[in-house]
Structure 1
C-alpha cells in the first residue's frame, strides 16, 4: 500500500476535498501528472480536465476542474481550482446544452478575440464531455 499524504481541492465556492490520500492525478499545464507522498516540490498551473483522487483504501473520486494551480510539496498537495465539481454531480443534458451554446457563440463571433475566447471555452467543454 502506498504511503498517504494530505490533499486539498479548493474552489472559490467551497472546500471539496481535505483528506489523506494515496495518489492524485492532476491535469497539469504540461500534461497529466500523478502526485504521491514525498513528491518533489512543484507548482503548476492546471488546465481544464479531470482530477482523480485515490483515497487511502483504494476508493477513487473524480472532479472536473477548470483552471487554477497546484502546489505540491513532499508532505501534501493543494489544488486551487477556478471551478471544481464532482463528476457524479454533472448533468449531462446541461453539459450538452452548454456545448451547443458554445458552438453558436463561435459561429456568431465577429471579432478574432471573441472567437478565440469562444473556441477556448468550447474546447474546455468538449474536454469535459470526453472525460465523463
Structure 2
C-alpha cells in the first residue's frame, strides 16, 4: 500500500508529522478517508476523531475541535482549531465546551445564520462526547 505525508497541527503544537497509509477525517460533509494519490481537495473539519494508520500499521486517534484539511496526492495537512490525542482527552473539557456553546446559543436571535452555526456546533460537540465514551 502506498504511503503519504500527514501532518496534524494545532495552534499549540505540531501533534503528528509522519508517513501514513490512511487518515480518516471528520469532514463537515461526512467522514472522509484520505489515502496516497488522493485528488486535491480542501475541506472544513468538524469536531470529531481523526484516525491515523501509520505506514507500519500502528493506529492512533486524535480529537479535533474544527479546522480544515488540505489534501494533495502526496500528502495531507490538517490544521485544527484545537487537537489532542484521544488518550489525553479530558471529558470535563468537552462538557465545558458544550456548556459554553449552550450559553452562546441563548444570546443569539432565532432565524439568525449565526444561531444555525452555533446549533450545529453544539450538536457536533454532543455527538463527539458520545463517541468518546467508546474510547
With normalisation by structure 2, the TM-score equals: 0.81
TM-aligned CA deviation for residue 24 of structure 1: 0.1
- Cα root mean square deviation, aligned: 2.3
Alignment coverage as a number of residue pairs: 129
Residue 125 in 1 paired to residue 125 in 2? yes
Residue 35 in 1 paired to residue 34 in 2? yes
With normalisation by structure 1, the TM-score equals: 0.83
In 2, Cα distance between the equivalents of 1:77 and 1:104? 33
- CA gap of 1:118–1:105, structure 2 versus 1, over 3 A, is farther
Question: Does the Cα contact within 8 Å between 1:106 and 1:119 map onto a contact in 2?
Answer: no
Worse-matched range after superposition: 78-87 or 89-98: 89-98
Residue 48 in 1 paired to residue 47 in 2? yes
Question: Does the Cα contact within 8 Å between 1:105 and 1:118 map onto a contact in 2?
Answer: no
TM-aligned CA deviation for residue 3 of structure 1: 1.2
Aligned-partner SS, 2:12: coil
